[in-house]
Amino acid sequence: MRKIDTIIIHCSDSKFGSSDDIRTWHKQRGWRDIGYHFVILNGKLGQGLFLESMDGSIETGRTLDGDAYLDKDEVGAHAYGMNSHSIGICLIGVDTYTPKQQLSLKLVVSDLMLQYGVRVENVIGHREMKGVSKTCPTGLDMDEFRDSL
C-alpha cells in the first residue's frame, strides 16, 4: 500500500458517457474494473440524449475507502507507473468541458486535496506525466486550473 500523493486529471475523448459506460469500455479491454476513481459528466448520456440535471454530476468509479493509502482493490488503471499512489478523475468530453463540469472538478479536487493532503503541484493532467505522449485532458489549461485551487 502506498500513500495517495497525486491527483491525475483525464478526459474520456468521447462526446458522451458515464462511469457505467467507461466501466464497460474498460472491461471490454480486459481490465478488472473502470480505471478512474471519479467521472464528471457533461449531461450527454448517449447519441442525442442530453439531461441538464446530469451536467457536472460526479460519479464514483473505483471505490476508495477513505484512508490515505491505496490497497490493491483501490488502485486505479489510469496512469501507468502512477496508479499505486494516485487518484484518477475523468472529465467526459473531447476538448471542451461545461462550466458545471469545471466547477465540479474544482470542488472534487479541492476536497480530495484536503482529505489526502495532496499538494497543488501534484494535481496534474495525464499529459504532464514524464514519458507520456498524450494530450489528455485536451483543452484544459492545467496551470490555470491549479491556480484556481
Residues labelled as active-site residues: 10, 36, 126, 134, 136
Q: Which residues contact 46 (CB under 8 A, 6 or more apart)?
A: 16
Three-state DSSP at 54 gives: strand
Q: Which of 122, 100, 125, 101 is nearest to 112 (CA)?
A: 122
Q: Which of 10, 112, 22 is nearest to 64 (CA)?
A: 112
Three-state DSSP at 20 gives: helix
The three three-digit cell numbers of residue 56, written as one number: 457536472
Place of cell 478488472: 32
Tell me how far apart the alpha carbons of residues 96 and 143 are, in angstroms, rounded to a whole number.
16
